[in-house]
Amino acid sequence: MDDQIASKNVIFTIVLLSLLYIIGVYIYHHVSDNQRVSLCSNGQQITAVFHLREGMTILIPSSSVKDTLDCLRRGMSFNDRTIEYVVASDVSNVLMKALQARYMVNEVQNELDLVFIKPRAEMSSSAIFLKEITNPFELVDYVAQKNPKEVIVPELNEVIARLIEKKAHVLNTTITELREGEYTSINL
């Protein structure tokens, strides 16, 4: 008497589907020309996760460990466990321990020149502010000088939002406000 746990057809189907999945992931990662930045807001700061063509991941964390890890969860592919660069002037020990427990972190830098990113033409006219806007006049001056089509900022208080909105309309700039808990991904 032959007691089989699974039939040969079931095992063959599982192996075939697994191979198709692995081939599909390989082709997607090596053929697609996908560069993007994922932005997550905690209301006061924005966490940025850059994914570049070379399979490189760059993290610009917020001061909150929970918000940084949540943005990585949303922004990184599930099988990518390496962060090539963490860019921050003052990375807390708690954040680094949490990152190193979940990911392999190659390097921590105070600043990083992102000249190797070649954004699309429509993305090159955007600006992202990672910290809370406390002086609306500095933002308005920046928009007047650089003239980006879109500016992404963390959550604004009502007074600052009204001051910026009037000036942005005159300068033909769209202000996108990421409120607490919101995130977006932008293809570069």
Give the pTM.
Answer: 0.73
User: pLDDT per position in the chain (188 positions), as tens?
Assistant: 566 677 888 888 999 999 999 888 777 766 665 788 899 998 889 999 988 877 788 899 988 899 999 999 888 877 788 999 898 877 888 999 999 999 999 988 877 655 444 444 445 578 888 888 888 888 888 888 888 888 888 888 888 888 888 888 788 888 888 988 898 888 77
Give, in words, the CATH class of 36-187. Answer: alpha beta
Strands 36-41 and 183-187: antiparallel
Task: Find, among 43, 46, 105, 52, the residue nearest to 77 by Cα.
Answer: 52
Domain ranges of the chain: 1-32, 36-187
